């Protein structure tokens, strides 16, 4: 295992992961809001935010798909050492990590079963930019409407149409995260 991969985990996992989990929860509950997280120092090019989400949400029982642009030996080792998550193909993934280009076509990811809609993938999408502007978001957790930079709208509209099935998405950039659950209506503006 590459020595660098042993570094950059949470200094105090219980408190750090609780804080990141709270941010992740808020982000998913209030689509369009942007939260900052800290504590992770993953190898480049993974962002702090995506690294913190992986450390918090993944473990040995959550198969993870690593996008091609992130699939480096040191990052593989970092994820394995700090989370134990098995690295798998898109179809078998509970979590997927990559740029939007990496993850396309997103129809490859699990959307759950009618009996168990929760058996679906959560995408963690690395964004070049993340801000409260762009497509309009409406739906649960949004008082009137919100705006968020999204890589596109068509894929999220198609995903919304599958409800109660569908994947959920985190968008990450630097140390910031936003959530886009399957329940959110997305419209280009």
Partner 1 sequence: MIANEPEKNERQIWMGLLARAAPERLQALLQDLPPHTLLRGPEVGAVMVRGRVGGTGVPFNLGEMTVTRCTVQLADGPAGHAHIQGRDKRHAVRAAVVDALMQTDRAYALRAGVLEPLAAHETATRALRAAKAAATKVEFFTLARGEDA
Partner 2 sequence: MYVAVKGGERAIDAAHAWLAEERRGDTAVAELSVAQIREQLSLAVNRVMAEGSLYDPDLAALAIKQARGDLIEAIFLIRAYRTTLPRLGASRPVETADMAVIRRISATFKDLPGGQVLGPTFDYTHRLLDFKLAAEGEVPVAPTAPASLGQVPHVTAILGRDGLIQGEAAGDETPPDLTREPMELPASRPLRLQAITRGDEGFILSMAYSTQRGYGRTHAFVGELRIGAVAVEMDIPELGFAVQIGEVELTECETVNQFKGSKTEPPQFTRGYGLVFGQTERKAIAMSLVDRALRWKELGEDFTGAPAQDEEFVLKHADNIQATGFLEHIKLPHYVDFQAELELVRKLRAEAGATRDAAE
- Residues of this chain that interact with partner 2 (CB under 8 A) are 1, 6, 59-61, 77, 80-81, 84
User: Rounded to the nearest whole angstrom, what is the least distance from the CB of residue 24 to partner 1 in the complex?
Assistant: 21
84 binds, among partner 1, partner 2, none (CB under 5 to 8 A by kind): partner 2
Can residue 6 be called a binding residue for partner 1 (CB under 8 A)? yes
Can residue 42 be called a binding residue for partner 1 (CB under 8 A)? no
Can residue 18 be called a binding residue for partner 1 (CB under 8 A)? no
Nearer to partner 1 among residue 5 and residue 111 (C-beta): 5
d(CA 5, CA 75): 7
User: Rounded to the nearest whole angstrom, what is the least distance from the CB of residue 180 to partner 2 in the complex?
Assistant: 27
d(CA 135, CA 153): 7
Can residue 9 be called a binding residue for partner 1 (CB under 8 A)? yes
30 binds, among partner 1, partner 2, none (CB under 5 to 8 A by kind): none
Can residue 188 be called a binding residue for partner 1 (CB under 8 A)? no
Q: Which of 82, 103, 137, 176 binds partner 1 (CB under 8 A)?
A: 82
């Amino acid at each position: 295992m590459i020595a660098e991969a042993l570094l950059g985990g949470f200094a105090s996992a219980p408190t750090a992961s609780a804080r990141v989990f709270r941010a992740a929860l808020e982000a998913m509950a209030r689509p369009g809001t942007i939260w900052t997280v800290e504590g992770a120092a993953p190898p480049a090019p993974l962002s702090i935010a995506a690294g913190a989400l992986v450390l918090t949400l993944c473990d040995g029982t959550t198969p993870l798909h690593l996008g091609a642009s992130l699939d480096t030996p040191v990052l593989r080792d970092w994820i394995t050492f700090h989370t134990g998550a098995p690295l798998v193909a898109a179809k078998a993934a509970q979590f997927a990590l990559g740029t939007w280009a990496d993850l396309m076509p997103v129809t490859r990811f699990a959307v759950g079963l009618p009996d168990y809609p929760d058996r679906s993938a959560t995408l963690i999408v690395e964004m070049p930019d993340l801000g409260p502007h762009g497509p309009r978001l409406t739906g649960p957790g949004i008082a009137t409407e919100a705006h968020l930079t999204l890589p596109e709208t068509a894929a999220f509209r198609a995903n919304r149409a599958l409800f109660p099935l569908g994947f959920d998405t985190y968008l990450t950039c630097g140390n910031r995260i936003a959530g886009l659950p399957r329940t959110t209506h997305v419209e280009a503006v």
